[in-house]
């Protein structure tokens, strides 16, 4: 039983200043908490490589990649969208963040790890084929998933996304790919105001009203995600692991707790064991801005992978 924990110091250097919620402190809080709880000892640590251009081009337009490289500043901050800034250290951070998902895919599909967690930033699930959005430059999870589809010939790949925001970028990238199923919960109506009207057989989108609690989330998972996943029989499962639906995260407005993240992770692991024999799971950090709740929730999520 091996869980790979993949990160890189470059991901901490991306810093948009003291008022931006997507802060370097997020990764430091996760590391501190894993050390303090001893959970760190159960993980195998890896440095994330930089993603290659070819790997990015599987999910992003060449023109968009060129634009990101051209705009990356040597000093000061440029804004790719009103929320998504880049300073000098941001491009290396984004390249290592996407590279983490590629390494995670290789470790799990080469059976060197059972599961993997990518503790990276900037996050990815709002990034579309040709635009940055909502703190996200490259769609890290999508780059990893495309690596599984292209390099390993995976035929049935599932993505779940429990971030409080809809993963519009991931849905856009894989909307027409019959090999991919995506199951989401997200607050609605809420940024980015997508997802509620694009539910389909392969896109199991479950909007949650403001204030929804763990019991509402669990009902959505049990009644909608798990039956769809069981029928689809994924060979590998990717998780857009955003923890901004936590009660303490006042930007999100939902009321999940650590125990809900533990529960959903253990349920998903059980389902993967049932349908695939191997519980291949690759989790990629998305949101989560109250750093104490974020760190405890990541620990609960990893514990769910260990115990489930
Ligand atoms: Zn979010």
The series of mean pLDDT values per 10 residues for the chain, 308 residues long, is 95 97 98 98 98 98 98 98 97 99 98 98 98 98 99 98 98 98 98 97 98 98 98 98 98 97 98 98 98 98 96
CATH tag for 3-307 (out of 3.10.20.30, 3.40.109.10, 3.40.800.20, 3.40.630.10):
3.40.800.20
In a 3-state reduction of DSSP, which class is residue 242?
A: coil
In angstroms, rounded to a whole number, what is the distance separating the alpha carbons of residues 267 and 270?
5
Residue 1 pLDDT: 73
Residues in the chain: 308
CA of 270 to the centre of ligand 1 (A): 26
**How far apart are the CA of 136 and the centre of ligand 1, in A?**
10
Q: Which DSSP string corresponds to 245-295?
A: TBTT-TTT--BB-HHHHHHHHHHHHHHHHHHHSS--EEEEE----SHHHHH
Which of 102, 44, 12, 67 lies closest to 282, judged by CA?
Answer: 102
In this prediction, residue 283 carries a pLDDT of 99
14 an active-site residue? no
In the reported structure, the alpha carbon of residue 261 is separated from the centroid of ligand 1 by a whole-number distance in angstroms of: 15
> Which is it for the CA torsion 142, 143, 144, 145, positive or negative?
positive
Q: What is the C-alpha separation between 199 and 277, in angstroms, rounded?
A: 29
The answer to whether the beta carbons of residues 97 and 121 sit under 8 Å apart is yes
Task: Kindly give the distance from the C-alpha atom of residue 244 to the centroid of ligand 1, in angstroms, as a whole number.
Answer: 6
Distance from residue 186's CA to the centre of ligand 1 (Å): 9
Structure tokens at 296: 């405890």
53 preceded by a cis bond (ω within 30 of 0):
no
Of the candidates 96, 126, 166, 301, the residue annotated as catalytic is 126
pLDDT computed for residue 308 by the predictor:
86
Provide the pairing of β-strand 3-7 with 43-47: parallel
Residues with CB under 5 A from ligand 1 (ion): 163, 165, 242, 244, 287
């Amino acid at each position: 039983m091996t869980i790979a924990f993949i990160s890189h110091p470059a991901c901490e250097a991306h810093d948009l200043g003291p008022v931006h919620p997507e802060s370097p402190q997020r990764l430091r809080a996760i590391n501190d908490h894993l050390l303090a709880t001893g959970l760190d000892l159960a993980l195998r640590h890896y440095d994330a490589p930089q993603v290659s251009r070819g790997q990015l081009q599987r999910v992003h337009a060449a023109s968009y990649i060129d634009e990101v490289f051209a705009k990356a500043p040597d000093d000061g901050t440029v804004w790719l969208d009103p929320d998504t800034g880049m300073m000098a250290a941001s491009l290396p951070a984004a390249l290592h963040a996407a590279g983490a998902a590629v390494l995670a895919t290789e470790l799990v599909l080469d059976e060197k790890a059972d599961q993997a967690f990518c503790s990276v930033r900037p996050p990815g699930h709002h990034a579309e084929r040709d635009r940055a959005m909502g703190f996200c430059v490259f769609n890290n999870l999508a780059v990893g998933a495309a690596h599984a589809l292209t390099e390993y010939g995976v035929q049935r790949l599932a993505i779940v996304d429990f971030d409080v925001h809809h993963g519009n970028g991931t849905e856009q990238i894989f909307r027409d790919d019959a090999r991919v199923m995506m199951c989401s919960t997200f607050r609605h109506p809420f940024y980015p105001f997508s997802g509620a009207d694009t539910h389909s057989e392969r896109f199991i989108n479950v909007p949650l009203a403001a204030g929804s609690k763990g019991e509402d989330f669990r009902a959505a998972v049990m009644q909608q995600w798990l039956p769809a996943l069981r029928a689809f029989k994924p060979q590998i499962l990717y998780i857009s692991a955003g923890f901004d639906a936590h009660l303490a995260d006042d930007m999100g407005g939902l009321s999940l707790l650590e125990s809900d993240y533990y529960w959903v992770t253990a349920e998903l692991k059980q389902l993967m064991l049932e349908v695939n024999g191997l519980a291949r799971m690759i989790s990629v950090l998305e949101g989560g801005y109250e750093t104490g709740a974020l760190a405890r929730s990541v620990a609960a999520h990893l514990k769910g992978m260990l115990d489930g």
